[in-house]
Amino acid sequence: MSGTDKIGWSRQQMADRLAREFQDGWIVNLGVGIPTLCSNTDIGGREITYHAENGVIGYGPVLPEGQEDLHLVNAGGQNVSLNPGAAVVHHADSFGIIRSGRIDVTVMGAYEVACNGDFANWKVAGAKGGGIGGAMDLAACARRVYIILEHNTRSGAPRLVERCALPVTARGVVTLVATNLGLFEPLGEGFRLRELAPGVTLEAARAATGAALLAS
């Protein structure tokens, strides 16, 4: 295990950093795993509508054990609550909302992100089959695609790369990436460093990244 996945931001801090980019009134779709943590972030009075692939528009926090409504889950299968003004639609209408460009941002996990905006999150190397879920629809159609991932694999290989080695989820769509080392923007030729996590040096980030890193 490389050192870089233990330094810098925690998973919640990565999620916090991206959540602070959310603007008032946005419709947000959070992927399974770390992205879900974005809904824990305090972003002041900004109103966010959380949309889930299964047609829930306006869900709220995960409910504590014993208070769950077993008819209501988010895209990760967690039993969530509903916020006032919520509405439920069927799956085709839900993906209609996605495809018609009404999701202001989708936040997803990934195995790899390339500086040309490609990313890969549905198929691991050598696997037969994969897990696409709603990721390809969201990636192709959301107004912004934010990615959260550890900066390096467990064996220390970079996940921010020049070109994805794994089959991509969509091409040229990623707008912002949070890793444990900081906040990055794919710029085509490389990643622009927008922010370093505390205790992370530019040199360390550069060494851990598989593409050019352009300091802002």
- Residues forming the active site: 53
Task: Decide: is 105 part of the binding site for another protein (CB under 8 A).
Answer: no
Please state whether beta strands 112-114 and 160-161 pair in parallel, antiparallel, or not at all (unpaired): parallel
Measured CA to CA, the distance from residue 169 to residue 162 in angstroms comes to 16
Looking only at residues 64 through 83 of this chain, which bind another protein when binding is defined by CB under 8 A? Answer: 65, 68-73, 77, 79, 82-83
The yes or no reply on residue 61 touching another protein (CB under 8 A) is: no
- Binding string, residues 111-150; x marks residues near another protein by CB under 8 A: ------------xx--xxxxxxxxxxx--xx---------
| Distant-in-sequence, close-in-space partners of 8: CB < 8 Å, separation ≥ 6 | 151, 179, 180, 181, 182, 196, 197, 198, 199, 200
Q: Which of 6, 91, 143, 163 binds another protein (CB under 8 A)?
A: 91
Closest CB 172 distance from another protein, rounded Å: 8
* Residue 36: closest CA among 21, 56, 18, 9: 18
Which residues make up the interface to another protein (CB under 8 A)?
Answer: 25, 27, 32-33, 47-58, 65, 68-73, 77, 79, 82-102, 123-124, 127-137, 140-141, 167-171
